Structure 1
Amino acid sequence: MADPFVFFTALVRVETRLWNVIDARLRAEHDLPVGSLQFLRLMSGPGPCRVQDISCALDLTVGATSKAVDRLEARGFCERQANPDDRRSSLLVLTTAGREKLAAATPTFDAAMTRLLAALPADAVAGLERGLEVLERELDG
């Protein structure tokens, strides 16, 4: 790597542009921001899901995560249920509308990412995946 600043700037610029392209497509076709799709996917995972779980998975503050969940709840995509193991937190559960929105938007997301990544050789994609995993572990320190 010749210039760390140039690499940093390129990495951030590509991430921002990638987010914006996917976000615009999801908003246009499904009235769903990409960030909301991330939340719905996490809520649909195996086992119970709390605001704290999403916060940790996406590296967001609990406050920002809770506000985003509030917006999804207001749209009827999820609901909070009492957590039988911890009265201080709620479990997040997708509603029928949330499951339907997730099922409709996921193929759009997958198709957009597949199309964009098709521009790269398969070994470059694999190298990027490995490199990002290593960088994330380094950031976790």
Structure 2
Amino acid sequence: MASSTLYAVAYKTDGIADLQGFFADLVRCETRLYNALNDRLRERHEIVTSQFEFLRFLREHPGARVADLAAEFAIGVGATSKSADRLEKQGWIVRQANPADRRSSLLALTDDGSQLLDAAEATFIAGLSELVQGALDQSTTTAVARALRRLRSALERDQVGSPTG
């Protein structure tokens, strides 16, 4: 009940919650933030946002499989595998044999990948802070982050939007 009240307060059209407006704002904000950070990362580190996110996930989850990345980012295994191939070709990750399952491999950052990630992360954090803090105060940012975390958790719990292949 509380979450529908949140939408009704934030997006009201003739007393009816404007979920389409909420969706449009959410998607457009994500796209603009992603593009702006992508430009900074590419310019300063010759890496794109999706590669940065993959490397960050692998640092936080050593020994992850391609399937783990695909699940985290809600993208297909084939696309994830191709992305991992590109990271491996750059020398930023390595594939290691999975002792528990010969059909899959475990992914790990290389030293070059770790160094790149450290440098790119500083750029990413500074850029994101600049973009968000320029528009929202700390209490609003905290409230939005909490709401998005709850929404994401519910979507992931119910496997909403998970790719089928």
TM-score scaled by length of structure 1: 0.94
CA RMSD, 1 decimal: 1.2
- Secondary structure in structure 2 of the residue aligned to 1:130: helix
Which has the higher mean CA deviation after the structures are superposed, 1-10 or 53-62? 1-10
Paired position in structure 2 for 1:14? 29
Cα offset, 1:104, TM superposition = 1.1
**How far apart, in 2, do the equivalents of 1:15 and 1:105 lie?**
19
Q: After superposition, where does 1:114-129 map in structure 2 within 5 Å?
A: 114-119=129-134, 120-129=136-145
1:26-77, Cα deviation, whole Å (9 max, x unpaired): 0000000010001111111244211111111111111111010001011111
Paired position in structure 2 for 1:44? 59
Q: Percent identical across equivalent pairs?
A: 42
Whose Rg is larger? 2
Q: After superposition, where does 1:61-140 map in structure 2 within 5 Å?
A: 61-119=76-134, 120-140=136-156
Q: Report the AA paired with residue 92 of structure 1.
A: L
- Secondary structure in structure 1 of the residue aligned to 2:117: helix
**How far apart, in 1, do the equivalents of 2:26 and 2:148 lie?**
11
**How far apart, in 2, do the equivalents of 1:92 and 1:47 lie?**
7
Paired position in structure 1 for 2:162? none
User: After the TM superposition, which segments of 4 or more aligned residues of structure 1 sit over 4 Å from their partners?
Assistant: none
**How far apart, in 2, do the equivalents of 1:136 and 1:30 lie?**
29
Cα offset, 1:134, TM superposition = 1.7
**Unpaired runs of 5+ in structure 1?**
none
Aligned residues: 141
Q: Is 1:30 aligned to residue 45 of structure 2?
A: yes
TM-score scaled by length of structure 2: 0.81
Q: Report the AA paired with residue 58 of structure 1.
A: F
Q: Report the AA paired with residue 13 of structure 1.
A: R
Q: Report if aligned partners of 2:62, 2:107 keep a CA contact under 8 Å in 1.
A: no
